[in-house]
Amino acid sequence: MELAVLNTSGKETGRVVTLSEAVFGIEPNDHAIYLDVKQYLANKRQGTHKSKERNEISGSTRKLKKQKGTGGARAGSIKNPQYKGGGRIFGPRPRDYSFKLNKKSKHLARRSALTYKAKEASILVLEDFNFGAPKTKDYLKLLASLAMIDKKTLLVLPANTPNVYLSARNIQNAKVVTSDSLNTYDVLHAHNLILCEGSVAKINQLLG
């Protein structure tokens, strides 16, 4: 698949880039996508949730009433979960939600996500660029020239470019990543994928 390279004004430069069929033209694997997205979201969880159980509640340990003869159920502690202020039964405890996923499965998921974007014609190729200073106004101007001001966009840079990243940081629906940190969740979450000219070759090399 060949795509025209656009400049920052949204006009064609006369150059074209070729998207590898091994990356952007495979048979998508939905289960691999599911596993990769599940792992990505699981790894983002802090897992610091905690509630107090019976042995952690502060309170008296005396028996509330005699065992028999009251006509009601027996009660041994004010910290009983049935009472207001009592401990919680089987409450959440700190844990690690992350799990292992094979590298081949991750690569398959990313190729599948990129294939879906290619089929939807949701990929644009932009010439490599940089800003002289971090300015949100400059990045908004770039999105406006590409007619993507109201869309969720993911810009993929060939290398870390602080001025571009900082310019897009305050924009709600715009995200900037480098080609080596591209992940399935971000690709699928964006309406449009903007690939810099230099990042196409890197993606073909990393996932091809």
Full DSSP string of 138-167:
HHHHHHHHTT-TTS-EEEEESS--HHHHHH
pLDDT tens digit sequence for 136-165: 999 999 999 999 998 999 999 999 999 999
Full DSSP string of 8-68:
TTS-EEEEEEE--HHHHSS---HHHHHHHHHHHHHHH---------GGGS-S--S-SS-SS
Residue 185's pLDDT band, with cuts at 50, 70 and 90, is very high
What is residue 146's predicted lDDT score, i.e. its pLDDT? 92
pLDDT tens digit sequence for 84-121: 999 999 999 999 999 999 999 999 999 999 999 999 99
Nearest to 176 by CA among 202, 154, 150, 200: 154
Q: Is 174 helix (H, G, I), strand (E, B) or coil?
A: strand
Query: What is the residue type of 97?
Result: Y
Give residue limits of the domains in the chain: 2-46+98-207, 51-91
What is the domain class of 2-46+98-207 according to CATH?
Answer: alpha beta
Degrees, nearest 5: CA angle 131-122-4: 65
Question: Residues in the chain, how many?
Answer: 208
